[in-house]
Amino acid sequence: MKIAKRMNLLGSETAFAVSAEAAKLGATGKKIFPFHLGDINLSTPKSVIEAAKKAINDGKTGYCAAPGISELREALAKDVGNSRGLSYDIDNVSVQPGGKPSIGKYIAAMMEKGDSVLYPNPGYPIYESQIEFYKGIALPYGYVNTSEGLKLDFRAIEKGIEKGAKHIFYNNYNNPTGASSSNEEIEKLAKLVIDNDMFLISDDAYFDTLYDGKPKSIASIPGMYERTLTMYTFSKKFAMTGWRLGASIGPKNIIEQINRLNVNMESCTTHFVQYAGLAGLNAPEKETQDILDILKIRRDRLVEILNGINGIEAHSPEAGFYVFPKITNLLERTGYNDVEEFRKSVLNETGVSFCGRHHFGRPLENESDYYIRLAFSGINIEDLEEGMALFREWIEKSTK
Ligand SMILES: Cc1ncc(COP(=O)(O)O)c(C=O)c1O
């Protein structure tokens, strides 16, 4: 049997491979400290669970419309519109089985073979995978390390635009770096997009997980409404990673094309899960605030512990589930010159499992520092502290 050549172009989300590796080690009896995946070990809000049960009992178990049930589309149009100061209606919303499908569907619908597409790297690895699978030219842009954290590398973005990029993926707040854009940065990026007649996919996976203040969306900048497709997901805000519910939200002509892909790919998103999502959008804010409050405690403790280790520099992310510390000096101290080797040694010897920068896009040529990513969404505070104590001990033991 011959596998189609195009499958050689498809990438992956290698954090799942790290997760499988850790699970295998765990099966031998070793205690695992899971810092590898942006999954959540907290319960989905009660109102969401109850609505799902009711929807099943009410018989919402058959097919439904490919763009999603109208009640959920309306609620999303209102919720996403209000939080961004924009006006959307039902035809601006296509319900999806998670956030991820919006990425590949946008590419399939809007990118011609040979088109150049800018994407963040380090970044969510599915951008690179989907651009290349559909035979586009993936142009990475990185981040610059500043005293305020990692900031967009505008030189790389401008270089990509000079090369003719017409599409750009933007993930504010970013996985894996924890980087968030200032208003100036968002405005500068929007200006580049508008001046160069580009289109932007705003991956808003962590928009609703900002710990303090109000989140900002690039779609709100004048001139960007018609140039932005927002990738919405219920996964993070509502601790619903395994339910698979999200949406593409943006200009009607793009949503129409994405709806056509829905028919071809999954017919519709799970019917009763859409009622669960609807209940989430209508639930008291406290239900999701409780999740954020727990995550914030974990974030603060993890950043504090990491910065107490000689050779590690960690910024505290304003949103999201990830700390992305620089470990260049730590590698030197422990005699490693490869993050993957370092990661494997730590995992096998301590059970502490995290990802390396290389799990988030092919490393760029000019990179001179080393980073790892630790997720704090899937580990409780006691295990977080126990795991970090073992990590610290291992470092002391391994220091040359
Ligand atoms: C930046 C980013 N985009 C998209 C996704 C995919 O979200 P979902 O699990 O809802 O498909 C994730 C999940 O971790 C993510 O971190």
Sequence letter at residue 390:
L
CB-based contacts of 55, cutoff 8 Å, min separation 6: 271, 272, 274, 275, 276
198 domain residue, yes or no: yes
Under 8 Å between Cβ of 382 and 31: no
Q: What are phi and psi of 175, to 5 degrees?
A: -105, 125
Is the domain of 257 the same as that of 298? Answer: no
Closest ligand 1 atom to residue 171 Cα is 1
How high is the pLDDT of residue 74?
A: 98
Query: In the structure encoding, which two tokens stand for residue 1, read together?
Result: 């049997």
**pLDDT tens digits, one per residue of 245-301:** 999 999 999 999 999 999 999 999 999 999 999 999 999 999 999 999 999 999 999
Under 8 Å between Cβ of 246 and 94: no
How high is the pLDDT of residue 148?
A: 80
Domain with residue 369: its CATH number is: 3.90.1150.10
Predicted TM-score (pTM) of the model is 0.96
217 close to ligand 1 (CB < 6 Angstrom) = no
- For the chain, what is the domain count? 2
Closest ligand 1 atom to residue 175 Cα is 1
Under 8 Å between Cβ of 19 and 241: no
Under 8 Å between Cβ of 136 and 114: yes
Is the domain of 247 the same as that of 278? Answer: yes
Under 8 Å between Cβ of 169 and 201: yes
204 close to ligand 1 (CB < 6 Angstrom) = no
211 domain residue, yes or no: yes
pLDDT of residue 13 exceeding 90: no
400 domain residue, yes or no: no
53 domain residue, yes or no: no
How high is the pLDDT of residue 3?
A: 97
Is the domain of 100 the same as that of 236? Answer: yes
Return the bridge partners of 374, or none: 323
Query: In the structure encoding, which two tokens stand for residue 146, read together?
Result: 């500043």
The angle that helices 339-350 and 15-27 make with each other, rounded to 10 degrees, is 30
57 domain residue, yes or no: no
246 close to ligand 1 (CB < 6 Angstrom) = yes
pLDDT of residue 400 exceeding 80: no
d(Cα 170, Cα 157) in Å, to the nearest integer? 11
Beta strands at 167-170 and 199-203: parallel, antiparallel or unpaired:
parallel
CA-to-CA dists, residue 58 to 51, 52, 55, 272, angstroms = 10, 10, 5, 9
CA of 205 to the centre of ligand 1 (A): 6
d(Cα 376, Cα 320) in Å, to the nearest integer? 9
End-of-domain residue from the set 234, 256, 284: 284
Per-residue confidence band for 78, with pLDDT thresholds at 50, 70 and 90? very high
205 close to ligand 1 (CB < 6 Angstrom) = yes
Is the domain of 258 the same as that of 334? Answer: no
Average pLDDT across the chain, whole number: 96
The domain of 24 spans 5-44+286-395
Domain with residue 142: its CATH number is: 3.40.640.10
**pLDDT tens digits, one per residue of 320-379:** 999 999 999 999 999 998 999 999 999 999 999 999 999 999 888 889 999 999 999 999
End-of-domain residue from the set 244, 259, 284: 284
Is the domain of 66 the same as that of 204? Answer: yes
d(Cα 9, Cα 214) in Å, to the nearest integer? 39
Under 8 Å between Cβ of 320 and 209: yes
Per-residue confidence band for 15, with pLDDT thresholds at 50, 70 and 90? confident
Per-residue confidence band for 392, with pLDDT thresholds at 50, 70 and 90? very high
| Residue among 14, 129, 236, 360 whose CB has most ligand 1 atoms within 8 A, to mutate | 236
| Residue among 124, 241, 373, 377 whose CB has most ligand 1 atoms within 8 A, to mutate | 124
How high is the pLDDT of residue 146?
A: 86
Q: Which residues of 13-37 are buried (b: 16+ CB within 10 A; e: fewer)?
A: bebeebbebbeebeeeeeebbbbbb
